[in-house]
Structure 1
Amino acid sequence: MSTATKPMLTEAVMFFSERGICKEMLFPEFEALLDGLVASPEFADETVEAAFVQINSRLQVRAAVFFTLDFDLDGYVNRLWNMPLRQLAEKAERGPDMGGGPIRLVCLGYNKQPNYRPLLWKPGQRAGTNDLALIKEAVTRNTLGILGEDEEAIGIISPERLQVAAEDSWYGSGVIIDPDNTTLTPIESSAPHSDDLDEVLEQHALETREYQRQIELLNNRLKALTLEKDQALAELKGTHADHLEIVQGELLDIKQELAQQQKLNVALKRDLVKLQSRTSTDID
């Protein structure tokens, strides 16, 4: 019995400006943005409208969550921001058809969870084009480099093109025994689709290498971001250490000045006592 496999979906985030989509990134990059590993200086001190989208291998949008994101003065995401985008997309209601059937849609006015309403926005017209159409065009351009589905390879291995070998060749090493003769008769090997199979295997190898390349790029980027964050933290610690040293020096100066003032006060009190003693003697 065969079971239907769940289609692979690529997750991405698209940011909007007044003129349309101004920035796109895959979801792992967005997670690095949320973790504070990177900043987006172009969004500094702004509340940006964005969309979390799930895209299938045919470059068709299957889900979209329209949310807002706050950035601080340095372009880092507000650390209080918290929104389960993937869970919202999975539980979303049916929305419009964007070419691959009705999508799952979450936006302002189209969401069953009111606690997330302040973080949602409603898509509309932007620079004369519908926001959903802008997303569809961006997905079609595929600037994110999403690996599409190889329809030719799928056709090669489709069930109606599969061939079953004869029952007497299911077992053994490619020979049959002639009951009237003790000699072994080799079975003639026929591979009408060997070239097609080679093409499929080659295509799979190419896709595997491409996935490995993307994983390596993401790992290298993550390492670079981690190094950048560590360097920034080290610089911040150094600045704080210098400031602490200055404050400690100033405090030491104050303590020394206070000690000198105390000595001066003691000397003045001693002189005052002597003066009072002389005055009383003169009066007597």
Structure 2
Amino acid sequence: MNTPTKPLLTEAVMFFSERGISKEMLFPEFEALLDGMVAAPEYADETVEAVFLQINTRLQVRSAVFFNLDFDLDGYVNRLWNLPLRQIAERGDRGPDMGGGPIRLVCLGFNKQPQYRPMLWKPGARGNSNDLALVKEAVAHNALGILGEDEEAIRYIAPERLHMAAEDTWYGGGQVNDVDDLIPLTSTPPAAASATAAASGELQRLREQHAQEVRELRKQVEALGTRIKAMALEKEQALVELKGIHADHLEIVQGELLDIKQELAEQQRINAALKRELSKFQNRTASDFE
């Protein structure tokens, strides 16, 4: 007995602004943000309302976690931010139907895990629509390029449309010279085989294209990471040099200040001696007059 295949889910994150959804990304790109490999300067020093989504191959939302994300002054995600989005989504409550049946929903006021409450927000109305409708519309538009089911290929390779060779050809006992030698399980157009091959080829091409895009994105992320590390090292070296220059300058200034203090002390000593001499002179003068 065959075990039903668990449907594949694509994970994505969307950012909201006052006007609606302002940014969409697949989860690997979001992980690059979390790891500090890339920044989002447009969100510098802001707290962004975001949603983590799990989407099936029919472009239907199956899980949604509405969370807040803090950015620092340079547009990097706050290092203290830590939210296990996948685990939270798996424990989500039964939410509304967004086209593929009730979703697993986690948001402020709709959450069984109180420790995460301060980092969640509640979707509501935004402009002339509501947040859930905006998410559904964005997923259906598929700007993320999620590969869905090739329904045309599925239609042609469905079991009821397959052909079976005549029994005398099963083990090489005969030859199939014509399409008519095949026994159709149901009535199927002769062009089905070529259409199936074409659909399979197109599906394979799309998969290879998607894999190539993922590889290119990873290369870009790695290049950015290398560049950021090099810049950080360069800044660190410049800071060390600056500290050295500052230390030398400080030592010179402290030496000059010490010399000034010594000169001042000497001058004060001389002034005190002069005052004593002046006092003695004044006393002698007074005695002479008497």
Into which bin does the TM-score normalised by the smaller protein fall?
Answer: 0.7 to 0.9
The equivalent residue for 1:47 is: 47
TM-superposed deviation, 1:230: 1.7
TM-superposed deviation, 1:106: 0.5
Q: Residues 15 and 24 of structure 1 are in contact (CA less than 8 Å); yes or no, is this contact kept in structure 2?
A: yes
The equivalent residue for 1:60 is: 60
TM-superposed deviation, 1:32: 0.7
Q: Percent identity?
A: 58
Q: Residues 14 and 51 of structure 2 are in contact (CA less than 8 Å); yes or no, is this contact kept in structure 1?
A: yes
Q: Aligned letter for 1:95?
A: G
Q: Residues 150 and 203 of structure 2 are in contact (CA less than 8 Å); yes or no, is this contact kept in structure 1?
A: no
TM-superposed deviation, 1:163: 2.7
The equivalent residue for 1:107 is: 107
Q: Residues 71 and 78 of structure 2 are in contact (CA less than 8 Å); yes or no, is this contact kept in structure 1?
A: yes
The equivalent residue for 1:275 is: none
Using the size of structure 1 for normalisation, the TM-score is 0.82
Q: Deviations over 1:15-68 (max 9, x none)?
A: 111111111111111111111111112211111111001111111111100000
Runs of 5+ consecutive residues of structure 1 not aligned to the other structure: 177-185, 273-284
Q: Residues 54 and 61 of structure 1 are in contact (CA less than 8 Å); yes or no, is this contact kept in structure 2?
A: yes
TM-superposed deviation, 1:136: 0.7
Q: Residues 67 and 120 of structure 1 are in contact (CA less than 8 Å); yes or no, is this contact kept in structure 2?
A: yes
Q: Deviations over 1:167-217 (max 9, x none)?
A: 43332xx344xxxxxxxxx44353744312321331232122222222222
Helix, strand or coil: the match of 2:227?
helix
The equivalent residue for 2:210 is: 211
Q: Aligned letter for 1:221?
A: Q
TM-superposed deviation, 1:251: 4.5
TM-superposed deviation, 1:12: 0.9
Q: Give matches, 1:230-249, under 5 Å.
A: 230-249=229-248
In 2, the alpha carbon distance for the partners of 1:170 and 1:109 equals 63
In 2, the alpha carbon distance for the partners of 1:63 and 1:78 equals 25
Paired residue total: 257
The equivalent residue for 1:87 is: 87
Q: Aligned letter for 2:53?
A: V
The equivalent residue for 2:161 is: 161
TM-superposed deviation, 1:221: 1.8
- CA pair 3-167 structure 1, distance change in 2 beyond 3 A: farther
Using the size of structure 2 for normalisation, the TM-score is 0.80
In 1, the alpha carbon distance for the partners of 2:255 and 2:122 equals 66
TM-superposed deviation, 1:254: 5.4
Q: Residues 40 and 75 of structure 1 are in contact (CA less than 8 Å); yes or no, is this contact kept in structure 2?
A: yes
Helix, strand or coil: the match of 2:100?
coil
1:133 correspondence with 2:122: no
Structure 1 stretch displaced more, 245-254 or 29-38: 245-254
1:188 correspondence with 2:187: no
Q: Residues 175 and 187 of structure 1 are in contact (CA less than 8 Å); yes or no, is this contact kept in structure 2?
A: no
Runs of 5+ consecutive residues of structure 2 not aligned to the other structure: 183-189, 271-290
TM-superposed deviation, 1:260: 7.0
- CA pair 249-109 structure 1, distance change in 2 beyond 3 A: same
In 2, the alpha carbon distance for the partners of 1:170 and 1:91 equals 51
The equivalent residue for 2:278 is: none
Q: CA RMSD in A?
A: 2.5
